[in-house]
Every structure is written in structure tokens, then in C-alpha cells.
Amino acid sequence: MKVPITRPDVGAAEAEAAARVVHSGWLTQGPEVAAFEQELAAAVGASHAVAVANCTVALELALRCSGVRRGDDVVTVSHSFIATANAVVAAGARPVFCDVEEDTFGMDPRSLERAITPKTRAVLAVHQIGMPCDIEGILEVARRHSLPVIEDAACAIGSEIEVGGRWERIGKPHGVIACFSFHPRKVLTMGDGGMLTMADAATAERLRRLRQHAMSIPDTIRHHSNKVTFEEYVEPAYNFRLTDLQAAVGRPQLRRLASIVAERRRIADRYAAALANNAVFAPPVERRGVRSNWQSYSLRIRPGVKTSQLEILQALVDRGVVAKRGIMNAHQTAAYADDTRFGVVAGGLPRSEKLRDESVVIPLFHGMTAEEEAYVLRALADVAALAEMAH
């Protein structure tokens, strides 16, 4: 058996939705995108949602609409897919990296406080691998410095936090804007795509203009008009549109979101129970007041284990279980190694580096069979036994 790190859950409902769009004759951004926006906003409890081509451009637009300009600093985490830092650079700003908390994999509010300077214009927090970060602690620090908080929620559709005794989904949003991804590694996918959610209507309207060359009149309105209409272009902007084909494929999955997340949580519970006393692998634990969607399942290699991360990964791959190294760090890549251009807070990023080198991401996805779940657990048990025997 070979178990992949993930497997997109698409089938007849998505095929029928795509066929509906093909037969409609309208393939680009149109009524399906508008419907997907409304449905996703309702699903996460947001006032507005704006669909775009992917989450990286969503982050760039969120930064621009939050007042970030060329030469500004944005405090974010290095411990994330490189797109987080790339979006800051695309907006003309400098990413300043702060460290993370080991249990949430997310921004440490204390490290954030130390990273803020007079040049800081925004905070970009990440809900990493679906585990909500300490957004309340981050917001508290940001409020003291009058800084907007943008949530990189690429992995976090369906994740929740407890606010005032009530559970709220990530994306409400809790900062000024939250940004989601629909890449095939994510919980919902249509091949690619992104979404921004926000409370402010004026911000939503500007985002809709910016994603389509700042066109004053959408092409959907021009297409249905009985009068000759000339559009204006009110500021330099972009082509960051989502297509109706993609949106149509996403809508059936969004309707299944609750059951999708419930299945992922069941698998995570099975893994945690099986690994509770494992001598090599420590399962992740949700902090009180957060519920992960378990977009990815990241194990920690326990202290004192002598078998290397690389040896463990190879042993799992040899057994047909696709596994990955822990979340990357942008500052450890060639692209961001020049710390004269990209700032790292005093004291470095020890927890980020430790998590990358001492974590193993294993398969967890909705649609896993019971046999696949059991196979992954047997492989982990085998590898753990070999690691103990070797030392």
C-alpha cells in the first residue's frame, strides 16, 4: 500500500458543477464566483468575501488595502510556506520575522512585541497547518501599537477559536482581513484559488476593483446592459480573478465543510490515542480554546531520540507512507538569507528552527480509508521500534 500525504476529495458533484459552467458559456469570473463568495462568507461568519486567483495574491492585496507601502516593515513568521514572506515583498515591504509558539506553530505575541519598530505598518499572523495561532494575544499587542492584523488562514478553513464563550470560525475575521487558500493540499480545493474575508464594506469594494484592473464597471454588468457602457480604470491594479469554473468546483465542497472537518478530527483523535505513549513520536495537542481542522498532522520527534529526521522520513517512505519534513522557515532559504534586507528579531528564531528540524508531517485527509489509517499507524509503530533498537 502507498498512502499519499493528501488526496483531493472531488467527484460527481464537482464534475456536474463544472459541466454546468461549461454549458453556460460564461467561464471567467461571474455568477458562480459571486455565489461562492456569499456562501463562504456565511460559512465563516464574515460580512464580506472576495475571491481571487490564489492565497498569495490575497495576502498581497490585504497588505496593500491595510496601508502597507514600499519601504514599510511587516512583522510575520518565517515558519510558514514561503508565500507568506513573498506576499510582503510583492507589496513592496520588508518582512521582519518573529518566532513562533511550539504548540500552535503560530506567532508568539511576545516575540511579535520585540519585533515591532517605528517602520512597522502591519502584522501578518499565520494559522499554520490549520492550528489557530494565539490571535487574541497578537491582537492585544497590535492594538497597543495601532497596527492592523492580517490573518494568513491559507490552511485554516473550518478551524475555530473560542471567543467570549462562543466558538467562531477562523475567517470571521478577527483581524482586519483573513485570507484562505484552495490549493490541492488544502481542505477545500478547486486546483487553486484564494479568498479574502472582512467586515468592512469599503475594503471589500476596493478589493473587487483591484483584482480586476480597478475597472469601474464589472464585465458582468456590461455584458447584460442594454446600453453602450464605457468603463474607467481608477488606479493601477491587477488581474487576480478567480474563474467561474473554479468557484463552481468549490461550492459543493463548501457545503460539505462541516462533515469534512468532523472526519479530519476523528482521524486526528485516532492518531493521538494510538501515539499517546509512543517513545519516538509525540502527537500535536490543541490548546484550550482552539479547534483545528487538521489540514496537516505534524508529529514531534521526542527529546532524546537519536535517529535523525531524515532517517525517519526515509523509513516511512520505504514503507509506502508519504511523509514530509516540518514546516519550512523562509529565513533558512537562499531567497531570504540576506538579513540586511529581511529582518530577524534579536535572539534569532530558535523555536522555528527546532520545529522544522524535529517535526514529521504524516498523511491525514478526509476520504482516508480505515485501512490507510491503520497502515500509517503500523508504519509509525515499526519506525519507532527500529529507532529504539538502533539506540
Residue the block writes with cell 468575501: 49
Are 248 and 267 found together in one domain? no
Which is nearest to 95 in space by CA: 131, 71, 66?
Answer: 71
Q: Is residue 269 part of a domain?
A: yes
Range of the domain at 156: 12-256
Are 357 and 228 found together in one domain? no
**Considering the chain, what is the average pLDDT of its residues?**
95
> Does the pLDDT at position 95 exceed 90?
yes
> Does the pLDDT at position 391 exceed 70?
no
Q: Is residue 386 part of a domain?
A: yes
| Separation CA 5–CA 296 (nearest Å) | 9
pLDDT-derived band at 234 (thresholds 50, 70, 90) equals confident
**What pLDDT, on a 0 to 100 scale, did the predictor assign at position 90?**
96
Are 353 and 274 found together in one domain? yes
**What pLDDT, on a 0 to 100 scale, did the predictor assign at position 294?**
98
| Separation CA 35–CA 33 (nearest Å) | 5
Q: Is residue 364 part of a domain?
A: yes
Number of domains composing the chain: 2
The more confident residue out of 351 and 341 is 351
Are 296 and 176 found together in one domain? no
Tell me the DSSP string of 61-110.
Answer: HHHHHTT--TT-EEEEESBS-THHHHHHHHTT-EEEEE-B-TTT-SB-HH
pLDDT-derived band at 222 (thresholds 50, 70, 90) equals low
240, 211 contact by CB (below 8 A) = yes
Are 238 and 100 found together in one domain? yes
Residue 341 burial (CB count, 10 A): 10
Are 252 and 262 found together in one domain? no
CATH code for position 159: 3.40.640.10
Residue 161's beta-bridge partner residues? 168, 290
| Separation CA 312–CA 307 (nearest Å) | 7
Q: Which of 256, 279, 303 is the last residue of a domain?
A: 256
Q: Is residue 2 part of a domain?
A: no
Non-local (6+) Cβ contacts of 374 within 8 A are none
Q: Which of 256, 278, 294 is the last residue of a domain?
A: 256
Residues 17-48 pLDDT 10s: 999 999 998 899 999 999 999 999 999 999 99
CA atoms within 13 A on the CB side of 128: 32
CATH code for position 305: 3.90.1150.10
Tell me the DSSP string of 130-141.
Answer: G----HHHHHHH
> Does the pLDDT at position 154 exceed 70?
yes
Q: Which of 238, 256, 274 is the last residue of a domain?
A: 256
Non-local (6+) Cβ contacts of 141 within 8 A are 109, 112, 113, 116, 123
Are 64 and 184 found together in one domain? yes
Non-local (6+) Cβ contacts of 247 within 8 A are 32, 33, 35, 36, 51, 190, 193
Q: What are phi and psi of 194, to 5 degrees?
A: -145, 165
Residue 3 DSSP SS3:
strand
154, 81 contact by CB (below 8 A) = yes
Q: Is residue 4 part of a domain?
A: no
Q: Is residue 7 part of a domain?
A: no
Non-local (6+) Cβ contacts of 130 within 8 A are 155, 156, 158, 159, 187, 292, 293, 294, 295, 296
> Does the pLDDT at position 223 exceed 70?
no
Are 62 and 198 found together in one domain? yes
32, 244 contact by CB (below 8 A) = yes
Residues 325-350 pLDDT 10s: 999 999 999 999 887 788 888 789 99
pLDDT-derived band at 356 (thresholds 50, 70, 90) equals very high
Are 247 and 272 found together in one domain? no
> Does the pLDDT at position 314 exceed 70?
yes
Are 73 and 213 found together in one domain? yes
Which is nearest to 33 in space by CA: 242, 230, 311, 324?
Answer: 242
Q: Is residue 161 part of a domain?
A: yes
Are 35 and 175 found together in one domain? yes
> Roughly what angle, to the nearest 10 degrees, separates helices 201-210 and 55-65?
120
Q: Tell me what the mean pLDDT of segment 160-174 comes to.
A: 96
CA distances from 145 to 35, 115, 343 (A): 37, 12, 19
The whole model's pTM is what?
0.95
Are 206 and 274 found together in one domain? no
Q: Is residue 225 part of a domain?
A: yes
206, 234 contact by CB (below 8 A) = no
pLDDT-derived band at 226 (thresholds 50, 70, 90) equals confident
pLDDT-derived band at 390 (thresholds 50, 70, 90) equals low
